[in-house]
Amino acid sequence: MKNLVLKIISYLLWVLCTAGVIGYLFYTCYVIHGYGAADVWLFVLFFVLSSLTASGVHELGHFVLGLFSGMRAKLTLRSFLPLVRAPSVEIVPKKEDKIKSRLIVTALGGVIFNFIFIVLGLVALFVPQVPIWISPIAIWHMSIFFDNVIPITYGTGKTDGLVISELLRNSPESRVMLAVLKVQAHVLSGKPIAGADKNLLFSLPQIAEDDPAFISLTELRAEYCAAVGDTENAEKYRARFEQLRKEYPC
């Protein structure tokens, strides 16, 4: 119920802000400046461009701030509309220290980049020196911004706001996620997984099995058990991981 209420709030915020932008844009263009129909194509062009690029700008923000905060960031392309591919970002820490603070910075990157474009679009509405026809970029960036800043879960996963909220509250989900990232950083630094702190894999709170952190933890447990020669548990966790992957595909 709480998740649904927050989704509605996010949608209403976007609708209200969009209505304000469009209303002021109409008033400025047609009442004050007397723009005609011939000028509309520029507004439409920037509206369409922002609808196709706002999600990519968001992911680029994660990528840039991820690199800035010392994370290993990898950009991959994924399709979200026919013939359109947008980047998604995979983040893994390079080092095992200060992962929590670096992860918060990385999570903030997407909404920060969207906010910059929102400000640019609003500046175009009120500052005569900036071409007003670029103002529609604010609309789609506001949509991505509100979708991600409010702490909720969508079908595609947790929003940035929820990830940050869990990290700040030190929730069980965030504790498991940080443990997973520490073990991954340990392995990526060239150290064997058998040398990882066993408590990071097994002395953790119970969380929902559909949480991505739990699925990754299950895979790491299988790899750790195999590395230390615990064949029975390695097979058990491997089978569980394969089952989870089928039940909750990413």
Q: pTM of the full predicted structure?
A: 0.81
Chosen domain end from 166, 190, 213: 166
- Both 156 and 176 in one domain: the answer is no
Q: Are residues 159 and 184 in the same domain?
A: no
195 and 111 housed in the same domain = no
- Write down the pLDDT at residue 86: 56
Where a domain ends, among 144, 166, 188? 166
* Residues above pLDDT 90, as percent of the chain: 36
Does 151 lie in the same domain as 49?
yes
Residue 83: the pLDDT is: 42
Residues of the chain under the 50 pLDDT cut: 79-85
Q: How many domains does the chain have?
A: 2
Same domain for 97 and 202, yes or no, is no
Say yes or no: 186 and 144 in one domain.
Answer: no
Q: Give yes or no: residues 161 and 47 share one domain.
A: yes
Residues spanned by the domain of 78:
2-166
User: Which pLDDT score is estimated for 113?
Assistant: 95
Same domain, 51 and 139: yes
The pLDDT value given to residue 82: 43
Verify that 241 and 133 share a domain, yes or no. Answer: no
Per-residue HEC secondary structure of the chain comes to CHHHHHHHHHHHHHHHHHHHHHHHHHHHHHHHCCCCHHHHHHHHHHHHHHHHHHHHHHHHHHHHHHHHCCEEEEEEEEEEECCEEEEEEEEEECCCCCHHHHHHHHHHHHHHHHHHHHHHHHHHHHCCCCCHHHCCHHHHHHHHHHHHHCCCEECCEECHHHHHHHHHHCCHHHHHHHHHHHHHHHHHCCCCHHHCCCHHHHCCCCCCCCCHHHHHHHHHHHHHHHHCCCHHHHHHHHHHHHHHHHHCCC
Among 166, 193, 215, identify where a domain stops: 166
| Residues 85 and 13 both lie in one domain | yes
For 159-217, what is each residue's pLDDT tens digit?
899 999 999 999 999 999 999 999 988 888 889 999 999 999 999 999 999 898 999 99
Domain shared by 48 and 154, yes or no:
yes
* Same domain membership, residue 26 and residue 108: yes
